[in-house]
């Protein structure tokens, strides 16, 4: 198989192409606040080298082993840029800005420039798209990490009084998080030998049947360990919704506020608080 | 006119996003706080069913009107195994999994209009409306 024209051009005019490519990146605007020109130069030089090697084996199948180094480099760069705050077009510009200098070289050196330009264009388009895909994957993994770190936002179980625990739930409750939070509560009940646990849902925007089921399971498990639960912070709109869902809270004590729940808890423990001024 | 958006239901976190967007839509058409909470909760039930039983699907959220009143219309669909016995599925307390069996019946009671279509082997499509 003969060596593709583009591979020859890349090899022969490597240093010129590099300079013109950098110039065309500069013209498009380099985010010097996010990346320094030295890095841009190194990246461009490196990619150009990898390109000219890969192109030797043909420029049609970018999925092949020869193209792997190129793919890897574009992927790594694009992912990094998505984390660094580059926009999608800024990221794609890196690859696309090689078009102009490469086309110029084809124009100046080829007998049949039109067909070579088409090939070069297809090649760079594919690489540009690949860069976009990598950028998006990078974005998605950032989002996923953020979601996971939110899940890990631990909800503290606090001891309000000897024998009285409270857990203020805040935010969306989904299987994972609810599970973690509820287990933490049960553990703390055992550890502190508490008699009463107040689950406060003031900060929970939605109580659906899954959340209700988790709450009820926790109440049952706590009971088995000798502790009673009070659910507080059920706002009117949540109460109305629970009724329509058909969820029965059974004999679970509910209170509208954490303060009310706390005073019920103290009463149950036969503790009376007296104002100092009465002394 | 009305704004329509489509959201995927492929993983648990998608349900959180759908709930947030339904809440936004309900606010935008100026539903009251109780109505907002009801349509959000109904969406959460049906979206979770699409994910768990339907193997994932999507949710269309539309800000629209009903007889001149602000309304939210949701269409939640999946291409899963469908529901062979709809009457039984709608019964409170029936679950083929480990839920409370209150999702379908509960969602129906929470909204102003509820329509369900399901073909065994083809999937399930549920339309929910809540208006001012
Ligand atoms: N999208 C769906 N695809 C297939 N089956 C479904 C779907 N939605 C609900 N079902 C069936 O209907 C039953 C009742 O649903 P639901 O009332 O939400 O209760 P739960 O989710 O607690 O099981 C489910 O257990 C399931 O068998
Ligand atoms: Mg359900």
pLDDT at B1 over 60: no
Between 3.40.50.300, 1.10.340.30, 3.30.565.10, 3.10.20.30, what CATH number should domain B4-131 receive? 3.30.565.10
Other residues' Cβ atoms within 10 Å of the Cβ of residue B2 = 14
Same domain, A127 and A169: no
Q: Which of A149, A178, A207 is the last residue of a domain?
A: A149
Same domain, A9 and A145: yes
* CA B73 / ligand 1 centre spacing (Å): 21
Atom of ligand 1 nearest to the CA of B45: 18
Same domain, A96 and A220: no
Same domain, A142 and A200: no
Predicted pLDDT at A1: 54
pLDDT at B69 over 70: yes
A96: in domain: yes
> What confidence category does residue A152 fall into, taking pLDDT thresholds of 50, 70 and 90?
low
Beta strands at B113-119 and B69-78: parallel, antiparallel or unpaired: unpaired
The domain total for chain A is 2
Burial class (CB in 10 A: 0-12, 13-18, 19+), A154: exposed
Contact: A206, B106; criterion CB under 8 Å: no
**B2 versus A39: which is more confidently predicted?**
A39
Nearest by CB: B41 against A147, A172, A208: A208
Q: What is the mean pLDDT of chain B?
A: 96
**Is B72 in contact with B64 (CB distance < 8 Å)?**
yes
Predicted pLDDT at A279: 55
Same domain, A118 and A213: no
For range A159-172, the mean pLDDT: 93
Contact: B48, A210; criterion CB under 8 Å: yes
- Distance CA(B5)–CA(A81), nearest Å, equals 29
In our burial notation (b when 16+ CB lie closer than 10 A, e otherwise), range A104-130 reads: ebbeeebeebeebbebbeebbebbbeb
pLDDT at A250 over 70: yes
Predicted pLDDT at A276: 86
For range A237-242, the mean pLDDT: 96
Predicted pLDDT at A273: 87
Residues A10-27: tens digit of each pLDDT? 999 999 999 999 999 999
Predicted pLDDT at A192: 95
> What confidence category does residue A180 fall into, taking pLDDT thresholds of 50, 70 and 90?
confident
pTM of the shown model = 0.75
- CB-based contact (8 Å) between A207 and chain B? yes
pLDDT at A143 over 90: no
pLDDT at A267 over 70: yes
For range A61-86, the mean pLDDT: 93
Same domain, A30 and A85: yes
A278: in domain: no
> What confidence category does residue B87 fall into, taking pLDDT thresholds of 50, 70 and 90?
very high
**Is B7 in contact with B74 (CB distance < 8 Å)?**
no
Contact: A244, B38; criterion CB under 8 Å: yes
CATH of the domain at A89: 1.10.490
Same domain, A9 and A144: yes
Atom of ligand 1 nearest to the CA of B57: 1
Same domain, A36 and A62: yes
pLDDT at A177 over 70: yes
Other residues' Cβ atoms within 10 Å of the Cβ of residue B23 = 19
Residue A248 sits in which domain range? 158-268
Same domain, A231 and A126: no
pLDDT at B76 over 90: yes
Same domain, A95 and A203: no
For range B68-85, the mean pLDDT: 97
Same domain, A43 and A112: yes
Predicted pLDDT at B22: 97
A277: in domain: no
- Distance CA(A172)–CA(A205), nearest Å, equals 7
| ipTM, interface predicted TM-score of the complex | 0.96
pLDDT at A208 over 90: yes
Q: What is the 3-state secondary structure (H, E, C) of A145-202?
A: HHHHHHHHCCCCCEEEECCEEEEEEECCCCHHHHHHHHHHHHHHHHHHCCCEEEEEEE
Q: Which of A119, A149, A179 is the last residue of a domain?
A: A149
Predicted pLDDT at A251: 84
Predicted pLDDT at A174: 74
Q: How many CB pairs under 8 A join A and B?
A: 68
Same domain, A128 and A10: yes
A28: in domain: yes
- Residues on chain A touching B16 (C-beta within 8 angstroms): 172, 174
> What confidence category does residue A194 fall into, taking pLDDT thresholds of 50, 70 and 90?
very high
For residue A82, the SS3 value is helix
From A66-70, A139-143, A233-237, B118-122, the region with the lowest mean pLDDT: A139-143
Predicted pLDDT at B91: 97
A57: in domain: yes
CATH of the domain at A197: 3.30.750.24
A276: in domain: no
- CB-based contact (8 Å) between A175 and chain B? yes
Q: Which of A124, A149, A174 is the last residue of a domain?
A: A149
Predicted pLDDT at A172: 81
Residue B101 near ligand 1, beta carbon < 6 Å: yes
pLDDT at A277 over 80: no
Q: What is the mean pLDDT of chain A?
A: 91
Predicted pLDDT at A55: 94
For range B106-122, the mean pLDDT: 97
Predicted pLDDT at A162: 95
Predicted pLDDT at A111: 87
For range A42-47, the mean pLDDT: 96
Predicted pLDDT at A275: 85
């Amino acid at each position: 198989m003969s060596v593709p024209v583009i591979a020859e051009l890349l090899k022969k005019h490597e240093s010129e192409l590099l300079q013109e490519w950098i110039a065309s990146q500069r013209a498009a605007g380099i985010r010097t606040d996010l990346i320094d020109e030295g890095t841009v130069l190194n990246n461009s030089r490196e990619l150009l080298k990898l390109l000219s090697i890969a192109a030797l084996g043909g420029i049609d199948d970018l999925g092949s082993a020869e193209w792997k180094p190129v793919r890897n480099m574009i992927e790594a760069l694009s992912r990094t840029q998505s984390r660094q705050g580059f926009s999608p077009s800024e990221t794609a510009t890196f690859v696309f800005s090689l078009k102009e200098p490469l086309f110029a070289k084809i124009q100046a050196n080829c007998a049949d420039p039109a067909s070579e330009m088409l090939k070069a264009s297809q090649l760079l388009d594919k690489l540009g798209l690949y860069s976009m895909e990598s950028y998006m994957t990078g974005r998605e993994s950032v989002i996923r990490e953020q979601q996971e770190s939110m899940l890990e936002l631990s909800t503290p179980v606090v001891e309000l009084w000897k024998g009285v625990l409270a857990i203020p739930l805040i935010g969306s409750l989904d299987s994972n998080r609810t599970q973690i939070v509820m287990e933490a509560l049960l553990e703390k009940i055992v550890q502190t030998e508490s008699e009463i646990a107040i689950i406060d849902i003031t900060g929970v925007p939605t109580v659906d049947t899954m959340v209700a089921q988790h709450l009820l399971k926790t109440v049952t498990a706590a009971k088995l360990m000798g502790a009673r639960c009070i659910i507080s912070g059920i706002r009117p709109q949540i109460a109305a919704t629970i009724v329509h869902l058909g969820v029965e809270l059974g004999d679970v004590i509910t209170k509208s506020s954490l303060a009310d729940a706390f005073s019920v808890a103290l009463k149950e423990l036969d503790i009376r608080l007296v104002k100092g001024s009465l002394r | 006119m009305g704004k329509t958006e489509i959201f995927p239901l492929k993983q648990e976190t998608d349900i959180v996003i759908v709930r947030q967007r339904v809440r936004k839509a309900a606010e935008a058409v100026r539903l009251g706080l109780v109505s907002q909470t009801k349509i959000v909760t109904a969406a959460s039930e049906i979206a979770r069913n699409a994910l768990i039983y339907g193997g994932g699907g999507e949710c269309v959220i539309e800000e629209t009107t009903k007889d001149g009143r602000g309304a939210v219309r949701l269409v939640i669909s999946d291409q899963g195994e469908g529901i062979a016995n709809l009457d039984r599925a709608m019964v409170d307390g029936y679950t083929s999994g480990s839920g409370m069996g209150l999702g379908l019946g509960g969602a129906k009671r929470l909204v102003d209009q509820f329509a369900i279509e399901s073909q065994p082997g083809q999937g399930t499509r549920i339309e929910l409306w809540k208006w001012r």
